[in-house]
Amino acid sequence: MSRIIIKGGRKLSGKVRISAAKNSVLPIIAASLLTGYECILEDIPFLEDVNVILSVLDSLGVNIFIDKNKGNLYIKAEDLKSFEPSYELVRRMRASFLVMGPILARFGIVKISMPGGCNIGSRPIDLHLKGLSQLGADINLGHGYVEARCKKLKGTKIYLDFPSVGATENIMMAAVLAEGETIIENAAEEPEIVDLANFLNKLGARIIGAGTDIIKIEGVKELKGTNHQVIPDRIEAGTYMIAAAITGGEVTVENVITEHIRSIIAKLQEAGIYVKEEQNKVKVKGSQIINAVDIKTMPYPGFPTDMQAQFMALLSIAHGVSIITETVFENRFMHVNELKRMGANIKIDGRSAIVEGVEKLTGAQVKATDLRAGAALVLAGLSAEGVTEVSDVYHIDRGYVDMVGKLKKLGAEIERI
Ligand SMILES: CC(=O)N[C@H]1[C@@H](OP(=O)(O)OP(=O)(O)OC[C@H]2O[C@@H](n3ccc(=O)[nH]c3=O)[C@H](O)[C@@H]2O)O[C@H](CO)[C@@H](O)[C@@H]1O
Ligand SMILES: C=C(OP(=O)(O)O)C(=O)O
């Protein structure tokens, strides 16, 4: 099994280009099931999660072609040979569940295994199912599977108890081919929802309001094909911004939409890190003293839960006590014990972590327990004294394109073995 070895203490410098967003490309690939015409996605991120969702589509009989040189992906779901994505693939990646809405809306039937919990929380799918059932789907649960059928989905008003990203996406995709108007209230407002809506509208869907908490979808009979460039990954951008800050380096993070990283910029500045916004890029310069700051994760435009672990790594060496409160997932502190192995002083009190900054972290053998926990440990390793060895790095491969290569280019002493 691969490991990442880091010799800490190098100040990072230079430029890094951010890849397209994992959390955008996954629902957009799922959405291409809504049409029989070709969809071309440009400059896609070659990630493990992308491989998994493409395996799901492949197993359903979708034509897929990847042009590695151009970085383009060609998808044509003319017809499906199966409406049943396998347990094995859905188990490997929760986002596979996003194919449910599109398959149901277009073919009137889908059988998909329940995704189950994962390291960061129990992650139920009740809001997805409630929304699809309100659209008229007949849903049955049994033997670990969800089976849904419908003649034709019918538009309706759906209020989400929580602005779930995945539920908003699944319902929005299904509603595109429903009869009449669907209104999603208390919808998630994440930039990835806007990107998905833009993609769907290019296919001929009629969606307005994506990016606000009320999304209106006027159903259409059929969709065509399109090409689309997925937005940059705001979480990858935030991770490299912290890499600059935690090493006291100076890094230009390119291919970012600064509007999408407002909360990350604000918290870094509060911590005393210099951040300068330019056209599609940010310059980040570390500071000798990092101030302690409090953080509370929230749905967008609040501080993203997907940046919580990385920020905790930074605050582990801040001056003073920071309180990090996780409100989105109930179990997203798995990285705390690993950071403690590196000398961090962190206590968990319910949904909050109390981080008392230490002068420096020390290299240790640690384990990535999930994707962002893995990224946080790499960041911690970059600043730590001595050698850090991160195991279970397959988690990192899910969401970061060539993390080791990109960090090496910035001057890190890092290897993958
Ligand atoms: C592939 C993808 O885009 N993943 C992102 C997506 O995950 P995902 O779409 O799974 O996250 P959600 O927004 O749905 O989950 C947020 C909260 O709602 C709860 N919930 C969700 C659905 C449901 O039916 N019932 C329910 O109770 C979850 O357990 C969680 O506590 O948004 C999360 C929150 O920004 C991010 O951390 C993930 O990186
Ligand atoms: C939690 C994440 O992803 P997923 O929802 O795919 O598990 C993440 O990207 O940090």
Chain segment 369-408, per-residue pLDDT in tens: 999 999 999 999 999 999 999 999 999 999 999 999 999 9
Q: Annotated active-site positions, please?
A: 118
Task: Determine the atom of ligand 1 nearest the C-alpha atom of 129.
Answer: 24
Number of separate domains in the chain:
2
Q: Please name which ligand lies nearest the alpha carbon of 369.
A: 2
What pLDDT does residue 1 have? Answer: 83
Give the pLDDT band (50/70/90) at residue 87: confident
If asked whether residues 222 and 239 sit together in one domain, one would say no
CATH number at residue 35: 3.65.10.10
Q: What is the ipTM of this complex?
A: 0.99
| Residue that finishes a domain, picked among 229, 256, 275 | 229
β-sheet with 295-296: strand ranges across: 295-296, 321-325, 352-356, 345-349
Which ligand is located closest to the Cα atom of residue 117?
1
Percent of the chain with pLDDT over 90: 95
Same domain, 142 and 94: yes
Distance 394 CA to ligand 2 centre (A): 13
Question: What residue numbers does the annotated binding site cover?
Answer: 22-23, 94, 123-127, 306, 328
Least confident of 95-104, 117-126, 283-292: 117-126
- Confidence band of 117 (pLDDT split at 50, 70, 90): low
Distance of CA 238 from the midpoint of ligand 1 (Å): 19
Asked whether residue 377 falls in the same domain as residue 236, the answer is: yes
Binding residues for phosphoenolpyruvate: 22-23
Q: Which two tokens stand for residue 225?
A: 């094909």
Q: How far is the CA of 119 from the centre of ligand 1 (A)?
A: 13
187 lines ligand 1 (CB under 6 A): no
Nearest CA-CA partner of 380 in 328, 329, 331, 344: 344
Q: Please report the DSSP string for 127-185 in residue order.
A: HHHHHHHHTT-EEEEETTEEEEE-SS-B--EEE-SS--HHHHHHHHHHHTTSBSEEEEE
Average pLDDT on 320-348 reads 97
pLDDT at residue 120, rounded to an integer: 87
Same domain, 259 and 316: yes
The domain boundary residue, chosen from 213, 229, 245: 229
Q: Which domain holds residue 69?
A: 22-229
Tell me the one-letter amino acid at 192: E
